[in-house]
């Protein structure tokens, strides 16, 4: 089974590579090696011409910076994170096309036997780290037709993750038509799912009334998967919703405790603003035995992400779309 799969993937990747080259002939064909030359490095003076990624000196800096700021603002507005490293994307793409493209499609939009990874919640959640997709790639899901690729290194997986992140980001950016057509589920099944998993916090006639008129389907899907409002001062976009604000209870070794909005929590300190508006912070080094208890109203949303099946997701979205 494994062999057959590998053979199919390899043959197919060779075919795809050939096809790609045919469709996109390289713009600057590399000089033909002189007859008889081996494929190895060319003899001659070791003058290294700069690669495409290294040619930064000759770019119009000011214009580049301005449009970069615009792009960044757009990404922030769409709540898209920082773009992945383009070199990693390139390496990941090459690997993906040859190893995974047969089943998942060369653009990861779904192929012969594998699902669309651009819309995969797991991939969305991975955010280019490789942490979520790594185990799936290493172990496969043999019973479901996904073979194990135990020999891929962590670096290769991270490259693939970068490529997939690039794909999800460009899909969100362009509002791909394919992506927009995601309301394919069963609203009745979605309603049942909602009653079981969501109704303890939400009501279709209360806080979620007319929710479908507030967001396009893609945005609505993103909202219910992880409803975090990203706010970047100076850019358009709604301010953070107070209902998503994390709160914290800090208890000192003396037993004295403070609670309020969580302002900061890192390895060294915690800070909060209490109900009277007073800002307080503590350094862990100074406060032996300090206890920090964070409440995140969105924790349930984060916990649910890995639990949805594709069908659940489509059904819930189809149901939410009825709330016009
Ligand atoms: C022989 C076909 C095949 C190949 C080759 C293949 N996959 Fe898959 N892949 C599948 C199938 C089928 C599933 C769905 C399994 C399931 O239903 O749980 C899947 C699932 C996945 C998932 C989980 C998606 C999700 O939302 O749960 C990821 C991530 C993934 N594949 C990545 C890859 C990567 C990266 C490669 C290349 C290194 C690859 N696959 C190669 C068939 C394949
Ligand atoms: C433990 C409580 C809890 C559960 C369970 C829960 N949510 Fe939420 N949800 C929240 C909080 C808190 C927010 C953020 C505040 C807000 O925007 O309403 C939120 C926000 C949302 C939003 C964005 C609303 C807006 O106006 O932008 C949607 C949509 C949503 N949830 C859908 C769901 C769905 C669908 C489920 C079940 C699959 C679910 N929620 C389960 C607590 C919960």
Rg for the chain, CA atoms, rounded: 25
Q: Distance, CA 301 to ligand 2 centroid (Å)?
A: 7
pLDDT of the residue at 160: 95
CB 164: neighbour CB atoms within 10 A?
A: 29
pLDDT of the residue at 143: 86
What is the CB < 6 Å shell around ligand 2? 194, 197-198, 200-202, 207-208, 211, 223-224, 227, 241, 243-244, 297-298, 300-301, 304, 316
pLDDT of the residue at 174: 56
* Helix, strand, coil tally for the chain in percent (to 5): 45, 10, 45
Q: Is 164 in the pocket of ligand 1 (CB under 6 A)?
A: no
Which of 104, 163, 167 is the pocket-test mutation for ligand 1 (most atoms within 8 Å of CB)? 104
pLDDT of the residue at 63: 43
pLDDT of the residue at 64: 45
Question: Taking the chain (324 residues) in consecutive chunks of 10 residues, what is each chunk's mean pLDDT?
Answer: 33 32 37 39 40 38 50 58 83 83 82 85 91 95 87 93 89 51 85 96 96 81 74 52 89 96 92 96 94 92 80 92 94
Contact partners, residue 21, CB within 8 Å, separation at least 6: none
Q: Distance, CA 197 to ligand 2 centroid (Å)?
A: 10
Ligand lying closest to the C-alpha of residue 135: 1
pLDDT of the residue at 101: 80
pLDDT of the residue at 261: 95
Q: Distance, CA 13 to ligand 1 centroid (Å)?
A: 16
Q: Is 137 in the pocket of ligand 1 (CB under 6 A)?
A: yes
Q: How far apart are CA 208 and CA 266, in angstroms?
A: 34
Q: How far apart are CA 122 and CA 305, in angstroms?
A: 8
Q: How far apart are CA 124 and CA 228, in angstroms?
A: 14
149: left (phi over 0), alpha (psi -120 to 50) or beta: beta
pLDDT of the residue at 74: 58
Q: Distance, CA 17 to ligand 1 centroid (Å)?
A: 20
Q: Distance, CA 242 to ligand 2 centroid (Å)?
A: 13
pLDDT of the residue at 145: 85
């Amino acid at each position: 089974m494994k062999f057959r799969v590998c053979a199919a993937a390899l043959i197919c990747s060779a075919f795809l590579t050939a096809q790609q080259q045919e469709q996109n002939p390289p713009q600057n064909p590399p000089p033909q090696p002189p007859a008889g030359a081996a494929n190895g490095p060319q003899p001659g003076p070791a003058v290294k011409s700069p690669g495409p990624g290294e040619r930064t000196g000759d770019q119009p800096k000011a214009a580049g910076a301005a449009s970069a700021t615009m792009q960044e603002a757009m990404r922030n507005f769409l709540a898209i994170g920082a773009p992945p490293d383009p070199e990693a994307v390139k390496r990941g793409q090459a690997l993906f096309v040859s190893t995974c493209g047969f089943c998942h499609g060369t653009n990861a939009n779904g192929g012969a036997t594998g699902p669309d990874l651009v819309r995969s919640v797991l991939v969305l959640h991975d955010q280019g780290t490789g942490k979520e997709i790594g185990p799936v790639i290493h172990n496969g899901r043999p019973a479901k037709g996904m073979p194990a690729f135990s020999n891929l290194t962590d670096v290769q997986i991270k490259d693939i993750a970068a490529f997939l992140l690039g794909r999800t980001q460009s899909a969100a950016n362009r509002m791909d038509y394919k992506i927009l057509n995601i309301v394919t589920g069963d609203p009745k099944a979605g309603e049942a799912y909602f009653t079981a998993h969501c109704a303890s916090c939400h009501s279709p006639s209360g806080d979620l009334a007319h929710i479908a008129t507030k967001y396009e389907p893609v945005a609505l899907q993103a909202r219910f998967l992880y409803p975090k409002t990203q706010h970047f001062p100076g850019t358009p976009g709604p301010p953070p919703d107070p209902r998503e604000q994390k709160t914290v209870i800090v208890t000192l070794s003396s037993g004295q405790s403070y609670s309020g909005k969580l302002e900061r929590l890192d390895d060294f300190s915690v800070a909060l603003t209490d109900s009277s508006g007073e800002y307080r912070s503590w350094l862990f080094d100074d406060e032996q035995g300090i206890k920090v208890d964070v409440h995140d109203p969105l924790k349930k949303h984060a916990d649910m992400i890995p639990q949805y099946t594709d069908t659940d997701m489509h059904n819930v979205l189809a149901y939410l779309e009825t709330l016009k």
